[in-house]
Amino acid sequence: MLYLSSFIQNTIFKVVMNLKNILFFISFSIIGLSIFGQDYHAPVDFKMLLSGTFGELRSNHFHSGIDIKTEGVQGQKVYAIADGYVSRIKVSTWGYGKALYITHADGNTSVYAHLKIFNKEIDDYVIENQYKKESFEIQLFPPKDRFQIKKGDIIALSGNTGGSAGAHLHFEIRNTKSEHPINPLQFNFDITDNIKPTISKIKIYPIDGMLDGKEIEKSYALKKSREQYTLNGATPIVKGKVAFSISTFDKLNGAYNKNGVYSIKLRVDSHLIYHFQMDEFNFAESRYINAHIDYKEKKINKKKFHRCYKLPNNRLSVYKEMLKKGVFDFKDDTTHLIQFEVTDIYKNKSIVSFKIKSTTTNIKNENSMTFTPFSQHFSYMKPNLFKGKNFQLHMESYTLYEDLDFQYLELDSMQGVYGKVQHVHNDNVPSHKSFVISLKAKIPAKLKDKVYIAKVDSNNRFWYMGGSWRNGMLSAKVREFGDFCIVADTIKPTIKGVNIYPGKKFNSQTTIKCTISDKESGIKTYRAEIDSKWILMEYDYKQKLLTYKIQKGLAKGKHTFTLVVSDKMKNETIYKAEFVR
């Protein structure tokens, strides 16, 4: 009986454990469905065609969402993808323009950006707060119960606000807790893609080795043979430590745009040494894109190459595999197979496969040694300080992605410049953090508060960097190398009435419009009033346009319109016009 009782207990225990496993599997499946299989409503009511994909390479950042084409127009209806509440509203001249954030019960937040207008209830709330704060730019965090949203609700109309270069909807899904953007194409949106990624070029880098007898990196054109790409040219001969990069893009059905790819794998003799995959990323890491790409190639040739190896100060967490930092040591006399596998999120795949020849023989170095004079060696791990007669640089540790032989020259002056032009290395080398530069020059006393540090571009145009006086030098924080100088701005901004002028009668017109511009340091602030009371003028910097929607409560009769615009050096212009309503 004792044995039977023990047998029954063991049997019951096993049944319970099996039930637990089954329940765990079911719950895990439900969680998995809630993460990647939600029945989300599409954010638009027409076929979703994309002009941008998640994680693609942008200037100084990875793209954090998808860009949905809006048939070339503004004003398309934008829908909430699921039940939730409006957790954040932002209106900005730059960046996302008008943006709406909806938090959902599944742990995600959806983001809708570059909007033309919010729905009436939200828009009224925003305008009320803009008038309270007397500011067009605003950020609001409404109480959870203020705007309860249902799946499929119309929340806004699409637009082209902020930094948008054309009418579209920028759409994101973020993890609410971490605020990390998640690839929206992991979810069940109706998007068609059966097109394989395109691979343009491969690049080989002798990190501590040789390539075809030289210590110089080289790019290779490709040709397509059957279903694979291969190198178009002679077999590369390598010795020592070598790394690779790849230039690639993806297209989706119905759109001509060259978008980003989802995954890149690199194998040497079937061994996976590198795997990049864009499921999600941390906004705090986004600028490390400048270490991920071949930055010099982008600046000089406008080509985007994914480095398949890691620079010392690259802290990105989007790599699934990185064997020996992606650098392979070739130290034998044989042939090796190199293979890239590039896929989009819909599992369309392209492959590059080619052979390289490894050698232990000392290859003749054909004039590959070059000497560039430099002023000082900078360690990426340490703070760096450089001092010249009329120039200083202060840099925190981990500002650079790798060690640098820093180059500095004092160049001749040029028209409009006080003192000399300071050549601060070159802008083909990226900087992760800002650093301080200080310039010295003789400045007339009356211009002390009108000068600033400018970056000089290749067309000799000046770009405002700011500046404040410290110990007899003008200092500013910058985030790029290049040529810098001191210039003055004493010129007031320009204001032009588009449809307003003294004596103007507004009968059927519903808006007041002005353009504002500044050719020197740039616009900093503007303030518009009617009869000495602040009014909301929306600023579209791309059109240099300010627009005021005339309120119904504006009484009939004479009114005074005033617009004050200041630039970054406190030069001010005032425009006044009496008009009749």
pLDDT-based confidence at residue 233 (cuts at 50, 70, 90): confident
Q: What tens digit of pLDDT does each residue of 522-562 get?
A: 999 999 999 999 999 999 999 999 999 999 889 999 999 99
How far is 162 from 539, CA to CA, in rounded Å? Answer: 9
In the chain, where the domains are located: 1-34, 50-186, 198-358, 376-488, 494-580
pLDDT-based confidence at residue 371 (cuts at 50, 70, 90): low
376-488 CATH, one of 1.10.10.10, 3.40.640.10, 2.120.10.80, 2.60.220.30:
2.60.220.30
Topology of the domain comprising 494-580: Immunoglobulin-like (2.60.40)
pLDDT-based confidence at residue 320 (cuts at 50, 70, 90): very high
| Position 41 pLDDT exceeds 80 | yes
CA dihedral 331, 337, 342, 347 (to 10 degrees): -130
Q: Which helix (H) or strand (E) holds 66?
A: strand 66-69
> b/e string for 233-245 if b means 16 or more Cβ within 10 A?
eeebbbbbbbbbb
Count CB neighbours of 488 within 10 A: 21
Return mean pLDDT, the chain. 92
pLDDT-based confidence at residue 344 (cuts at 50, 70, 90): very high
State residue 103's pLDDT score.
98
Q: What tens digit of pLDDT does each residue of 136-194 get?
A: 999 999 999 999 999 999 999 999 999 999 999 999 999 999 999 999 999 989 999 99
How far is 178 from 174, CA to CA, in rounded Å? Answer: 8
pLDDT-based confidence at residue 2 (cuts at 50, 70, 90): very low
Q: Do 244 and 338 touch, CB atoms closer than 8 A?
A: yes
How far is 413 from 435, CA to CA, in rounded Å? Answer: 23
How far is 547 from 510, CA to CA, in rounded Å? Answer: 10
Give every CB contact of residue 317 below 8 A, 6+ residues apart in sequence: 281, 282, 285
∠ at Cα 189 (183, 192), nearest 5°?
A: 100
State residue 411's pLDDT score.
95
State residue 363's pLDDT score.
63
Q: Do 171 and 112 touch, CB atoms closer than 8 A?
A: yes
For residue 415, give the DSSP letter.
Answer: T
Q: What tens digit of pLDDT does each residue of 374-424 get?
A: 689 999 999 999 999 999 999 999 999 999 999 999 999 999 999 999 999
Instruction: Give the 3-state secondary structure of residue 384.
Output: strand
How far is 505 from 200, CA to CA, in rounded Å? Answer: 60
Topology of the domain comprising 50-186: Glucose Permease (Domain IIA) (2.70.70)
